Amino acid sequence: MQLGAPHPERWNVSDLILFLVEHGGGRTRPLTWECLAFVQGLALELSRKVIGVVLGNNIDSVCAEVAAAKVQEIWKVSAPELETYNPDCFSAALCQIIKPAEPYAFAFAHTYRTIDFAPKLAAALNVGFISDITRYRIDGGRPVFTKSVFHDKLAAEVSFCAAPPHLLSIQIGSFPGDAAQREGRAPVQEKPVNLAGVPDRRRMLQIIQAMKNQVDLSRAQIIVAVGRGIGKQENLKVAQELAAALGAEIGASRPIVDMEWLPRDRQIGSSGQTVAPRVYFAIGISGAIQHIVGMKNSAFVVAINKDPNAPIFKVANYGIVGDLFEVVPALTQAVKQQKGNG
């Protein structure tokens, strides 16, 4: 497939970049604009056209909302089977849209739902899928995508070997939604799908609140959060002493909670609580993206880690590279002294 400027009169089959509109409760979700910002940028560089795809049931208000952004068209894919998420129906509907349209690419936000159905869609279409993209560049007319690998300590540049359509998912927070061009007026086209033949296999039973948060960390002014670097459960007291000296709440990254060293209501990150304290101390936390999304809005971040390449240092205002078992007790001591003087 040759890339380059499309013929001006007609859309060539590979001129389209589609993206999935994220919505809920009859409104678009902010992730939609992150995805739009990404595809608008990509479309501009590759001379393609952007089409938003809305999947669901009773989605007119969502279609209208996103049709008022700068897109070529909105495709409304409405069916009762799409009311509740189901990977078989989602994948079948998108297959029926993608096959005749033969777009150059289809982009998603890398959500837990996308993880659930996009690889299935890729296999059904027999195409490539580059997931969790944080950046891209164009190299000789060909896009090369960057994603985090090895616990976010390294980045990989990934490209497609297979022909389009290319499936893409973008990491949440990597393409700010404010960059999306929101002014426009696009026609809404209905795209009928037939889901009658989709096997009834996976059935949604209910949505459960995993645990009622006993501790609301979102109100904490100071949080001392510990990660895998703490090593052993007994070592938690090093962090707890600092927290006590500061009057801070204790938080944790996922592995600490998975090992049951602290209760789940202390977990900070994508599957735990989202916090924004005045100061966030990250102790022995390497800073995988799932953790970062839960604490990046803290006013100040202080990271203490022995690995100078730990990704936590990319979001920290202040960092101390060293052995936390030396640094944290010294800090606790210094805080106590300061408070004693004050």
Partner 1 sequence: MKIIACIKQVPEKDTRFEINPQGTWIQEQELTFEINECDVYALEEALRLKEKHGGEVVLLSLGGESAEKTMRRGLALGADRGILILAARDQTTDPFTVARALLTQVRLEQPDLVLTGVRSDDQAFSQTGTLLAELLGWPHATIVMKIDWEAGAGRLTIQRELEAGLLEEVSLPFPAVLTIQQGINQVRYPSLKGIMAARKKELRRVNWAATGVSGDRKIAIEKLVFPKSDKKSEIIGGTPRDAAATLVEKMKKEMKIL
List the interface residues with partner 1, window 84-103 (CB under 8 A).
Answer: 87-88, 91
Name the residue nearer to partner 1 (CB basis): 99 or 202.
202
- In angstroms, what is the minimal distance from the CB of 80 to partner 1? 18
Residues 243-302 interacting with partner 1 (rule: CB under 8 A): 246, 254-255, 257-260, 270-274, 278-279, 299-302
218 binds partner 1 (CB under 8 A): no
Give the total residue count for the chain: 342
Q: Of the listed pieces 39-47, 101-109, 176-184, 305-313, which binds partner 1 according to CB under 8 A? A: 305-313
Residues 55-74 interacting with partner 1 (rule: CB under 8 A): none
83 binds partner 1 (CB under 8 A): no
Name the residue nearer to partner 1 (CB basis): 190 or 216.
216
For partner 1, the binding residue among 8, 24, 208, 232 (CB under 8 A) is 208
- In angstroms, what is the minimal distance from the CB of 9 to partner 1? 32
User: In this structure, what DSSP letter does residue 189 have?
Assistant: E
Half-sphere exposure of 280 (CA within 13 A, CB side): 33
Residues 153-192 interacting with partner 1 (rule: CB under 8 A): 153-162
Question: Token pair of 106, please?
Answer: 């289809």
CA–CA separation, 281 vs 304, rounded Å? Answer: 8
Helices 112-125 and 87-101 sit at what angle, rounded to 10 degrees?
Answer: 50
Name the residue nearer to partner 1 (CB basis): 44 or 115.
115
Distances (CA, A) of 338 to 2, 196, 333: 66, 70, 9
119 binds partner 1 (CB under 8 A): yes
Name the residue nearer to partner 1 (CB basis): 189 or 219.
219
122 binds partner 1 (CB under 8 A): yes
Say what the alpha-carbon torsion angle 282, 287, 292, 298 is, to the nearest 10 degrees: 20
CB atoms within 10 A of CB 93: 24
- 128 residue type, one letter: G
**Cβ pair 40, 19 in contact under 8 A:** no
CA–CA separation, 270 vs 266, rounded Å? Answer: 13
330 binds partner 1 (CB under 8 A): yes
Residues 129-148 interacting with partner 1 (rule: CB under 8 A): 129-132, 135, 144, 146-148
CA–CA separation, 219 vs 21, rounded Å? Answer: 32
313 binds partner 1 (CB under 8 A): yes
Name the residue nearer to partner 1 (CB basis): 60 or 326.
326
The residues facing 89 across adjacent strands are: none
232 binds partner 1 (CB under 8 A): no
